Amino acid sequence: MSNSAIILISERDSTVRNRSQHNQQKQPDSSCNEKGLQSHNHKLELSAGMLRERSVVILLLGFMCLVRILVLISVQQLSSSSTGHFDTLRARKHLERITSVGPRTIGSPENEITTVNYLLDQIEQIRSESETGPHSITVDVQRPTGSFSINGFISYYDRVTNIAVKLQPKTSAQHFMLANCHFDSVANSPGASDDAVSCSVMLEVLHSLANLSTPLKHGVIFLFNGAEENNLQASHGFITQHPWAQQVRAFVNLEAAGVGGKELVFQTGPENPWLVQAYARAAVHPFASVVGQEIFQSGLIPSDTDFRIYRDFGNIPGIDLAFIENGYIYHTKYDTPERIPTDSIQRAGDNILSVLKHLVMSDELADSSQYRHGNMVFFDLLGMMVVVYTARVGTIINCTVAIATVICLCKKSYVPMMMVVFPLISKLLLRKHFRARGCFRCLVSSSLAQDGVKGASLQYSVLYLTGLAVPYVHIMFLIWVVFEVFTPIQGRSGTGIPPDVVLALIVTLATVILSTYFLHVIYLSRSTKHILAGLGSVFTVMFVLVCCGLFFPYSADPSSPRPKRIFVQHTTRRFHALNGSLQSSDSGLCISSVDYTDMQHITPHIPQINDSIRWDCQDHLPYCGSSRKSWYLPAPEVSPEAPLEFRLLSRQETEWGTVKMTFEVKGPSLMSLRMRPQAGASLSSWSFGDKTPQFNLSGGYFISYSRGLDAPAWSFWFEIQPPKSSDASPDEGLISLAVSAHYFSGSDRHSEQLESLLKRFPAWVFPSSWISTYHMYRY
């Protein structure tokens, strides 16, 4: 064989070997491609089973509607059953009788005589009916006088009315629960929900407990107080001055922030977790939320209750309940008995009766000190049961969930991170080994193909939403409570903060919380572009509609009124010089807005009320007779039948260099006093509260005064430190005093000019009106 033949044969063999080696090298890639094709087919099969956008939207809308229906059913179901011990019809008769006299302001005959006599008659009937039973009833009518500091000013009261009823076993008792309501109302409102219905419920609870055949272990004091609306005065008089107060171990306060609906437990404590636990065990129709407590105690709600007095001045724990629905008509003329459903009275009566009965039969009431410490987290599940656990347990739960979440996130992020890091390491180590590299690439691509399937199956989505049902219902229920409380409050929260901003923040927070739950399902749909486009369109449309102002905030619909609140005073102002002579005076109709819209919706109906008559209060005057944001229409002077009388009784210099002045004031049952020392002077002591003057944030000192019937003239004194001789101004004197007298009842609360203006307001306006006078003096 020639060399050339040998060479040819060698080259052929080499070529065959190379082809063989090349085929062997290509075989893994072919295998990989086959696996990749199989994976692709599997991905298509999985993708075919995934939900499309339309299916996801329908599924989520159905889920949301179902949850919403459950929440509405829970909200509207006031009383599913009754214990049979609370007589709702009798309680409703009490409610109608109490409110039949109209508004019951402090010091008015309707409050101090008519209502008091009715309550005493009913209590006497209950006492006579239960006289042969195992319990005794003692009644005491208290008319306390006192003063205290609250919210930066002094609240002074004189001979306000308390009706205290002690129910105890005939063998006597040493420990008592206190049940509190107030029968007075704000001016211009019959006050059915705030708080006549609570007093009606308490009368019937007293009747039920007094007629029990088994004697109670402890006693109950029922306090019907007649002075709550003017700075919680009667409750202070009881808890600081009544001898029975020393035996009170805990209390239940019945209040209202709305009209009808369910009564919410929105405050408990301080501490004493046994009270919440007792409510959870005993309440027939529970409705409680620690969220309400956080909101109320944050100061976001512009109101207060007697709970604060018993907590701060009595140092006793309690439970605060209030009706919260339909707050739009709270403190208006629409707060009438017919707007309170019978079922609302039934559930409130069942709950209060059951809880009180449980507490007065418990061992904790006798020695609550060993159960004192600890705060509770509490909430109800659709009114079926109350979940209660300590704050420490809540902290443990939160920390456990947080740690579990971090671990889960780390575990989830570990897999994709390793899928990136491990191929890089393998490529460096196996660069020269083509086969291994090819097989690993096949494995990774197959895994990525499986992970690349985007979407979720119907079975998975239904299972996922089913797991969300319970927490979602609870969250939506809490959001309903927040909106039910905060939306009406914007109509009486003052003119400082735009309500649109507040509600926008609440809506945003609620949307974020709710969307967090189902965002996962939306993301797992095969495509999200149409869903995102739809959500964006909805946002844009709503934003444009809100900005255009197409939604009118008020309504005069008799079935569901949403009135705009304003204050209207027909007032006369008189300014006196340092020598006591009248320096100037004026009279007019002063209109004050209670919400942010001011007069912009009223001006088209009453053109005279516009910004040209806007009130500007002078800074050097101690309260110029109105709020700073008011409108003033000139009008004739007012002439009350019982005009204000103000006089200086004595003025003397003390041995320590101060000047002591004593004054006497005669006037209506509601007055206010503002004092402002001149530059360089300062008050050192006075006759109010703890004798230490408290400077008000408005730039002076403020005292709110109210009295019952047959109260003597109001006398007070103060000592003032004169300014240094270099700072003294003989023309200004030492101090300016302004006394405002408010006529809320009787014939003095009306005038012809006032009635004429009230008739001109649109039907959707609720004007709270009265007569007032203002006198400013310098000394």
Residues classed as catalytic: 228
Kind and range of the H or E run holding 371? none
Residue tagged 């005073």 (tokens)? 569
98: CB partners within 8 A, 6+ apart: 104, 115, 118, 183, 196, 199, 200
Residue tagged 């890091």 (tokens)? 421
Cα–Cα nearest to 647, from 546, 577, 715: 715
DSSP state of 755: H
DSSP reduced 3-state for 707:
strand
What CA–CA distance (Å, rounded) separates 346 from 362? 24
Count H helices and E strands in the chain, helices first. Answer: 17, 22
At 702, list the tokens: 């403020």
At 330, list the tokens: 């709270």
Residues 308/302, Cβ–Cβ less than 8 Å? no
CA distances from 407 to 131, 395, 413 (A): 68, 18, 10
CA atoms within 13 A on the CB side of 614: 9
Given strand 248-256, what is the order of strands in its sheet?
A: 135-142, 162-169, 219-225, 176-182, 248-256, 318-323, 263-269
At 211, list the tokens: 């007629």
What CA–CA distance (Å, rounded) separates 180 from 199? 8
Beta strand 248-256 with 263-269 is: unpaired
Q: Where are the alpha helices (DSSP H) in 255-341?
A: 273-282, 290-297, 306-312
* Angle of CA points 513, 379, 401, to nearest 5°: 55
What CA–CA distance (Å, rounded) separates 528 from 530? 6
What CA–CA distance (Å, rounded) separates 70 from 75? 9
Beta strand 153-158 with 765-778 is: unpaired
What CA–CA distance (Å, rounded) separates 340 from 259? 6
At 260, list the tokens: 């009808």
CA atoms within 13 A on the CB side of 678: 18
Cα–Cα nearest to 748, from 623, 643, 617, 671: 643
DSSP reduced 3-state for 150:
strand
Backbone angles phi, psi at 487, to 5 degrees: -60, -50
What CA–CA distance (Å, rounded) separates 424 from 415? 15
Q: What is the distance, to the nearest Å, from the Cα of residue 709 to the centroid of all Cα atoms in its chain?
A: 34
Length of the chain: 779
